Amino acid sequence: MTSCLKEPVEPQVIVEPPQPVEVKLDSIVQGTLYNVTIGDEAEKVYSDLQQFSETEKPIAYLGITGQFNTKLHDLENRIPLYSALILDRKPSSPEGGQIYFEGNVIKSIYSRNGIKLQTWPNSSSTALKVGDIVDTVYDKLTKLHSESRYAGLFAYIGMFDKNIETEFDPIQEKSTLWQFSIAEDDKNFIRIDLVFEDGILTKIRSRHERYL
């Protein structure tokens, strides 16, 4: 689910992605790893991850899995806590938008079929624009949602890419799986799953991958 948040890139020659030449799987159900401790509540885990990202290994992407945003009102006061937002019809349509944030502004916008945009939706006078302040996004979306021709673009709302530099979002307690990766060097990576039950960390899974 979180993979759909990866930012599209400019068109290029399609090649098969590299496969790891060695994979090692680890799993623990007690103890501490990556500065987080089995048995801790989600908010404490998040705080410890923030410290890990700041002092040990940067966490560029923290995916909070689960579909917890079903209506526009769910996003109120929460958009600045994340790094990306997806809005789309059901089923998915090229008219849908993928909006990426950086430094408290909209960094880039793409249609759902990967076309880079400067505004979304293009035909709206209240469209989101590259460079807009993130704090203004919710109000603009409210205006768009009130117009019947755009209301369908809010049938699917995806907001999974947590900005780890911002405060804890209580919705994280509902997620059963957080995902992130860390790089040991340019050839060795660790993909980590934090597994939760009722807001308590119960398991840490690690997938160690080495590439040529």
Q: Count CB-CB contacts under 10 A for residue 158.
A: 19
- DSSP characters over 85-118: EEEE-SS--TT-EEEEEETTEEEEEEETTS-EES
Reported as a single tens digit per residue, the pLDDT across 88-121 is 999 999 999 999 999 999 999 999 999 999 999 9
Question: Which conformational region is residue 7 in: left (phi greater than 0), alpha (psi within -120 to 50 degrees), or beta?
Answer: beta
pLDDT of residue 124: 85
Instruction: Looking at 7-108, list the stretches that DSSP marks H as alpha helix, in order from N- to C-terminal side.
Output: 42-55
pLDDT level of residue 16 (50, 70, 90 thresholds): low
Q: How far apart are CA 7 and CA 22, in angstroms?
A: 27
pLDDT level of residue 139 (50, 70, 90 thresholds): very high
CA 163, 34, 40, 157 torsion-angle sign = positive
Q: What does the block give as tokens for 177?
A: 């799986």
Q: What is the DSSP letter of 20?
A: P
Instruction: Share the mean pLDDT of the chain.
Output: 92
- Helix, strand, or coil (residue 157): strand
β-strand pairing of 97-102 with 200-210: unpaired
pLDDT of residue 4: 46
54-58 CB contacts, 8 Å cutoff, 24+ apart: 57/182, 57/183, 58/182
Reported as a single tens digit per residue, the pLDDT across 62-79 is 999 999 999 999 999 999
